[in-house]
Each structure stands twice: as C-alpha cells, then as structure tokens.
C-alpha cells in the first residue's frame, strides 16, 4: 500500500459556536493522507489507474464549503 498526500488544502466555511462566529466564513487548512495501491498505475502508466487526488480535493472542498460546523474537531 502506498500513501498519497494532499497538504495545506485551505477552504472557507462556517465554524464556531457563538453567533458572531456563525455569521462569518473562516479559513480551515487541512492535510489529508490516503493509503492507495498504485501498482496498477505503475504497471500500466495509465492515469485512469491512479487515485484522482484532484477529484478528491474538489469533492472535499465542495463538502466543507456547503457545511457548517460548531467544532474544529468535527
């Protein structure tokens, strides 16, 4: 198993428990670590056999932007 990293992905979202926090969007920066078997991609040299980390990033950004959180730990 190999490891793929997405580092310093910054997204703005509503986060906080106080009313004033819930009225503004704040930047959240995160690092994502994914285990993935890249043997097929290495053997085929075909991008279709790889982990599409651009698609993962876009989906994560969309989810976070459309969500509202009370705690950073969420």
- Residue 63's pLDDT is 96
- Residue 74's pLDDT is 75
Question: CA 10: distance to chain centroid?
Answer: 9
- Residue 62's pLDDT is 98
Whether the pLDDT of residue 73 is over 90: the answer is: no
* pLDDT tens by residue, 26-64: 999 999 999 999 999 999 999 999 999 999 999 999 999
> DSSP for 18-73?
SHHHHTS-EEEEEEEEEEE--HHHHHH--GGGS--HHHHHHHHHHHHHH-EES-TT
Q: Cα(3)–Cα(38) distance, rounded to whole angstroms?
A: 9
Domains in the chain, please, with CATH? 2-69 (3.30.1130.10)
Whether the pLDDT of residue 24 is over 80: the answer is: yes
- Residue 37's pLDDT is 93
């Amino acid at each position: 198993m190999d490891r793929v990293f997405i580092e310093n992905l910054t997204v703005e979202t509503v986060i906080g428990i106080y009313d004033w926090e819930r009225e503004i969007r704040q930047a959240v920066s995160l690092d994502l670590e994914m285990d993935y078997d890249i043997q097929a991609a290495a053997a085929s040299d075909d991008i279709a056999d790889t982990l599409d980390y651009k698609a993962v990033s876009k989906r994560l950004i969309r989810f976070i932007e459309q969500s509202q959180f009370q705690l950073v730990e969420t």
